[in-house]
Amino acid sequence: MPDAGGAYRLTADVHRHTAWWPLWTDVSAEWGFRSSAAADGRALPLLTARFDPAVDLRNRAPGGRLFTFPAFVERQGGGTSSKLAVETSADDGRTWPPAVTLRTGDHWTVVVRNPASGFVSLRAKASDDDGNTVQQTVIRAYAIS
């Protein structure tokens, strides 16, 4: 990295489509952050969003009702996120209506209306007070039972 600070964008995409496992078929993340060589070995200030839905052993949640779960945003090297928005999709990412996200101490509570059947995909957009950002998408994050 150059000595002078600069804005950077990092992306990662993973695609897995197999007959025996219908979940997490497409996972992507895009980070925006500022850094420089003058950071002297400190961790890059990359954010990550982590969802913790109470699903069963087959990653299924009850269908046709409201479903709440905690979400966490963490920053490599420490620090906290100041904003989180979550969107859901019941059509493998063709449409993304917003979910309700409520700040609860060190995490958020996400409120989703699960469809009657199928899968739910999740997209998180988070940022911190330093201007670092992340957008993470998980197509088919969990199944509906």
- Look up the CATH number of the domain holding residue 17: 2.60.40.10
Maximum Cα interatomic distance, the chain, rounded to a whole number of Å: 54
Give 17-24's long-range contacts (Cβ < 8 A, gap of 24+). Answer: 22/119, 22/140, 22/143, 23/59, 23/119, 23/140, 23/141, 23/142, 23/143, 24/138, 24/139, 24/140, 24/141
Kindly give the confidence (pLDDT) of every residue in the chain, 145 residues in length, as a single tens digit, with 9 standing for 90 and above: 566 788 999 999 999 999 999 999 999 999 999 887 666 677 888 999 999 999 999 999 999 999 999 999 998 877 666 899 999 999 999 999 999 999 988 899 999 999 999 999 999 999 998 899 999 999 999 999 9
In the block, residue with structure tokens 């060589």:
37
Domain of 24?
Answer: 6-144
What is this structure's pTM?
0.90
Residue 135 lies in a domain: yes
Residue 33 lies in a domain: yes
Residue 125 lies in a domain: yes
Q: In total, how many domains does the chain have?
A: 1
> Alpha-carbon distance 101 to 73, whole Å?
12
Residue 54 lies in a domain: yes
Residue 1 lies in a domain: no
